Chains A and B, each alone.
Chain A
Amino acid sequence: MIRTIEREELDFLATGAWILGTGGGGSPYLSFLNMRRLYAGGVRVALLDPDALDDDEAVAVVSNMGAPLVGQERLADPDFATRPVRMMEAYLGRRFRAVMAVEIGGGNAFQPLLVAARTGLPVVDADAMGRAFPEAQMTSFAIAGLTCFPLTLADIRDNEVIVARADGWKWMERISRKVCTEVGSIAATCKAPRSGAEVKRHAILRTTTQAIRLGAAVHAARRRHDDPVAATLKAGDGKMVFRGKIADVQRRTTEGFLRGTARVEGLDDDRGSRFDLAFQNEFAVGWRDGAVAVTTPDLIAVLDSVSGEAVGTESLRYGQRVTVIALPAPPILRTPRGLDHVGPRAFGHDTDYVSLFGAADAGCAA
């Protein structure tokens, strides 16, 4: 129920988390470097299965918030990541049993590892998205209607902010985003703490393991000179959606988000067809020859057809050989409430959820 994350699993986690980032989430490279350095110094981090949590134990939910560009100059740092967790403990007057990621997709997959390296707390094998999403209300905890407060936020300087209450998840997103901007568009946060019972019932479970498994499959395929895309699909129970080359990319920023579209022209079996992708930081909807083929919350990832490396929405480029794949969304995101928060309409697309993994389970309880 608790085990040590091995050195080589850090590489796998970096690769797997980047795939689960579905085009966004920020690159895990700098956080990975931190962990590699900490491991070289003898530190080891433990991974705790959620079932091992007692119902009333407290779990810290952490994330690094801000603009990827700023993260390239003000680099990820375990001490910085740990401060909001200590703040939250002081505010609540109790200690955490473990720490977990709000978002397994992208750089935030490593945030709880950075905290764990400093505090000795184990990392819970779970997150609240099962992928990456752009906003705070796009979590399984928000979908389940859990409280959104308190939130602690730390800056590298001696600025610490506690959002004691907020009138719902969207308010929490607006207020914390504003503070984050003021301190330089990057901040470490500790979200509303969760009980062991809440994690077991409402988190997306075992996603750290899933990310490590995906990354391990890609690395193993590369070593054997096998097809890393096929290995990703096998390891993630995914489906190949489209194979081709990028023919056009349009980008714009509105309300702080990177929005845009990309067009892929078919190659191999898809020759003669086209595939359009819409993104808001992450990929949201895909159309095959004008018809909706795949939508959020299913995970839409764009992989380099040769290396299997995930391609971020910021680095899409004309001429890249890519394979669009879909991985199944966690069940809670497929419920009607889930789709309200993270379905295509939440990203401004007037279309129903279309899945390659069977119809949404209307009756499935969260």
Chain B
Amino acid sequence: MRRIGIDVGGTNTDAVLIDGGSVRHAVKTATTADVLGGIRTALAELRDADGGAAADVQAVVIGTTHFTNAVIERRALQRVGALRIGLPASASLPPFVDWPEDLAALVGGVVAMVPGGHEYDGRPLVPLDHGAVRDAAKRMADAGLRSIAITAVFSPLTAACEIEAARIVREEIPHAALTLSHELGRIGLLERENVTLLNACLQDLAAHATAAFAAALAESGIAAPLYLTQNDGTIMHADLARRFPVYSFASGPTNSMRGAAFLSGLAEGVVVDVGGTTTDIGYLKGGFPREANAAVAIGGVRTLFRMPDLLSLGLGGGTEIAADGSRVGPRSVGFRLAEAALVFGGDTLTATDIAVAAGRVTLGDPRRVAALAPGFTAALLARMGAMIEEGVDRMKTEAGDVTLLAVGGGSFLIPDRVAGCDAVVRVAHHAVANAVGAAIAQASGEVDQVFTGLGRDAAIAAATAEAERRAVAAGAAAATLRLVEIEDIPLAYLPGEARRVRVRMIGDIGAPAGG
């Protein structure tokens, strides 16, 4: 199967053509301000470079940091209507309560809280107040809002209130973009509502961007369905994905990890991605990044949804080293490495200089660091190796050795031997790992739910069946489904053997769905 994977990063737009198990061609171009230009250039290069092979690709998959950057940089965000269903509960902490003020001011439109919602065991909290929902929708319509975020108490367990409210809102604002919290987040009302609001404020941008991606694709003459990658390393058809821009927030690191797995042929291990400023460490389980189970802040907003579990260390090729060796980082010269580091003619001692002096890597002018004593550089490399070692170990969830997959421009800082790792694999072509990760993505279904009154086995079976259903709905071929993650946690102070079960299934995309 031929596929094109495109990674639209803040600096570079990378694209690869994958055929079966190998990378046929790779291109790297600068990301343009309108994003489109870079994609257009990359697609044209691929098409021309591969003698027409690109004409019969079955899928084009784009991974982009476009939406995350919009939130972080506070640009191209739209005002949203926030509808919370759950009164009389939670009244004192309204939507946007723990947002940074500048972002809340930019995104907050009409905020409404109405009676409704459910208990953890499926009983109604109070009946949904249809009239109050309609009044809220009218106020949102009057304010000219076209993107509405709807969040109900315990909706991940019982979504009926959100679905009914959506029906009413649609009657009042016929062309509204609606984001329902149960489609996105987990238990934890504020964090789930935050994800829902973020998703709602990106609707116009997402519609615009996906239309532009599709136009660039059509222009290139490549007639293949377009998919976007998600945080968990799977894909969604662009028509569906544009409704859920938050699902692309972490696609950068995710695609890098997935690409490393593909390029190394390993499905299990720890990926250590050493960049210029930071080292990102994440675990691969069955070829996918392990998911985070705790709140993750995006642009200062606490969220809890499907995100990879990453540990970021302040260590990279540009990390500044104190002249006496007493301090490693956390400051970094970052993207100025090529001018600031000693070996590149600068005057700042960096981790890269230490590695060059010790003969770990050949970069710039080694004579400029020849004066550094071997004992000094060896001690510093050992110290940086120990930082990586500790990070790898902190992220472990069980004892035993793992295989380390080294990627990133600063991966020469990773020693050949790392405690707790049976091998250090230096991944070839890691410069385009992100685009490769996009190209090989599959479709998934996830369930994260509290079950009561069922035994452990029955609860897991029920969650598994629902995850399968969702994976098929997302585009997976049923015959290719497999379980990639399962976790169950018993809960305190709840009767009836309550437990939270999380299950994720993935599969290859079926016949070009909807394409």
Given A69-B450, A77-B92, A184-B125, A317:B397 Cβ within 8 A: yes
Stretch at the interface among A249-257, A325-333, A357-365: A249-257
B120 and A185 within 8 A (CB): yes
- What DSSP secondary structure best describes chain B's contact surface? loop
B398 contacts the other chain (CB 8 A):
yes
Bound form: Cα–Cα A106–B5 in Å? 48
B93 contacts the other chain (CB 8 A):
yes
A73 and B154 within 8 A (CB): yes
Closest chain-B Cβ to A84's Cβ sits at a distance in Å of 15
B473 contacts the other chain (CB 8 A):
no
B490 and A75 within 8 A (CB): no
B322 contacts the other chain (CB 8 A):
no
* B390-445 residues at the A interface, CB under 8 angstroms: 390, 393-399
A78 contacts the other chain (CB 8 A):
yes
* B88-134 residues at the A interface, CB under 8 angstroms: 88-93, 97-98, 119-120, 123, 125-126
Bound form: Cα–Cα A78–B495 in Å? 26
Q: Which residues from A are CB-within-8-Å of B90?
A: 73-75, 77
Contact of A253 among B86, B154, B492 (CB under 8 A): B492
A251 and B98 within 8 A (CB): no
Closest chain-B Cβ to A271's Cβ sits at a distance in Å of 13
Closest chain-A Cβ to B346's Cβ sits at a distance in Å of 27
In the complex, per-residue mask of B461-501: 1 if CB is within 8 Å of any chain A CB, else 0: 00000000000000000000000000001111111011110
B98 and A315 within 8 A (CB): no
A37 contacts the other chain (CB 8 A):
yes
A33 and B97 within 8 A (CB): yes
In the complex, per-residue mask of A255-278: 1 if CB is within 8 Å of any chain B CB, else 0: 011100000000000000000000
Q: Which residues from A are CB-within-8-Å of B189?
A: 72-75
Q: Which residues from B are CB-within-8-Å of A30?
A: 93, 190
A245 and B92 within 8 A (CB): no
B355 contacts the other chain (CB 8 A):
no
Bound form: Cα–Cα A73–B90 in Å? 8
B294 contacts the other chain (CB 8 A):
yes
Among residues of A, the one whose C-beta sits closest to the C-beta of B90 is A75
Among residues of A, the one whose C-beta sits closest to the C-beta of B397 is A318
Contact of B93 among A66, A77, A156, A247 (CB under 8 A): A77
Bound form: Cα–Cα A252–B498 in Å? 11
B257 contacts the other chain (CB 8 A):
no
* A27-74 residues at the B interface, CB under 8 angstroms: 30, 33-34, 37, 66-70, 72-74
A213 contacts the other chain (CB 8 A):
no
A75 and B89 within 8 A (CB): yes
Given A75-B89, A79-B92, A256:B495 Cβ within 8 A: yes
Bound form: Cα–Cα A281–B492 in Å? 7
Q: Which residues from B are CB-within-8-Å of A33?
A: 93, 97-98
B294 and A315 within 8 A (CB): yes
Bound form: Cα–Cα A333–B120 in Å? 36
Q: Which residues from B are CB-within-8-Å of A157?
A: 88, 125-126
Bound form: Cα–Cα A79–B500 in Å? 30
B89 and A69 within 8 A (CB): no
B119 and A184 within 8 A (CB): yes
Q: Which residues from A are CB-within-8-Å of B294?
A: 315
Closest chain-A Cβ to B470's Cβ sits at a distance in Å of 22
Among residues of A, the one whose C-beta sits closest to the C-beta of B89 is A74
Give how many B residues have a beta carbon under 8 Å from the other chain's beta carbons.
41
Bound form: Cα–Cα A361–B325 in Å? 52
Q: Which residues from A are CB-within-8-Å of B494?
A: 67, 69-70, 181, 185, 253, 256
Bound form: Cα–Cα A73–B187 in Å? 7
B153 contacts the other chain (CB 8 A):
yes
Closest chain-B Cβ to A265's Cβ sits at a distance in Å of 9
Q: Which residues from B are CB-within-8-Å of A321?
A: 390, 394
A34 and B497 within 8 A (CB): no
A168 contacts the other chain (CB 8 A):
no
Bound form: Cα–Cα A256–B489 in Å? 13
Q: Which residues from A are CB-within-8-Å of B500?
A: 69
Closest chain-A Cβ to B496's Cβ sits at a distance in Å of 9
Given A30-B190, A253-B498, A75:B492 Cβ within 8 A: no
Bound form: Cα–Cα A157–B117 in Å? 12
Bound form: Cα–Cα A156–B89 in Å? 6
B493 and A67 within 8 A (CB): yes
B188 contacts the other chain (CB 8 A):
yes
A147 contacts the other chain (CB 8 A):
no
Q: Which residues from B are CB-within-8-Å of A257?
A: 492-493
Closest chain-A Cβ to B413's Cβ sits at a distance in Å of 21
Q: Which residues from A are CB-within-8-Å of B399?
A: 247-248, 318
Closest chain-B Cβ to A30's Cβ sits at a distance in Å of 7
B89 and A314 within 8 A (CB): no
In the complex, per-residue mask of A216-259: 1 if CB is within 8 Å of any chain B CB, else 0: 00000000000000000000000000000101100111001110
Q: Which residues from B are CB-within-8-Å of A181?
A: 494-495
Bound form: Cα–Cα A239–B188 in Å? 35
Bound form: Cα–Cα A33–B98 in Å? 7
B125, B395, B491: most-surrounded residue (chain A CB, <10 A): B491
Closest chain-B Cβ to A140's Cβ sits at a distance in Å of 22
Q: Which residues from B are CB-within-8-Å of A68?
A: 492-493
Given A70-B120, A77-B89, A77-B93, A185:B190 Cβ within 8 A: no
B190, B493, B498: most-surrounded residue (chain A CB, <10 A): B493
In the complex, per-residue mask of A72-101: 1 if CB is within 8 Å of any chain B CB, else 0: 111111111000000000000000000000
Bound form: Cα–Cα A153–B90 in Å? 18
Closest chain-A Cβ to B186's Cβ sits at a distance in Å of 9
Closest chain-B Cβ to A272's Cβ sits at a distance in Å of 16
Among residues of A, the one whose C-beta sits closest to the C-beta of B399 is A247
Q: Which residues from B are CB-within-8-Å of A80?
A: 88-89
Bound form: Cα–Cα A72–B188 in Å? 5
Q: Which residues from A are CB-within-8-Å of B450?
A: 69
Q: Which residues from B are CB-within-8-Å of A317?
A: 397
- Can you name 16 A-B residue pairings with CB atoms under 8 Å? A30-B93, A33-B97, A34-B92, A37-B93, A69-B187, A69-B500, A70-B120, A74-B189, A75-B89, A157-B126, A245-B393, A253-B494, A258-B491, A315-B294, A319-B393, A319-B396
Q: Which residues of B contact A (CB under 8 A)?
A: 86, 88-93, 97-98, 119-120, 123, 125-126, 153-154, 187-190, 294, 390, 393-399, 450, 489-495, 497-500
Q: What 4 pairs across the A-B complex have the smallest Cβ distances?
A: A253-B490, A258-B492, A67-B493, A75-B90
Q: Apart from A69-B187, A156-B89, what 18 extra A-B contacts exist at CB < 8 Å?
A: A30-B190, A37-B92, A66-B493, A73-B120, A74-B153, A77-B92, A79-B91, A184-B120, A185-B120, A245-B394, A247-B399, A251-B490, A253-B490, A253-B497, A256-B492, A315-B294, A318-B397, A318-B399
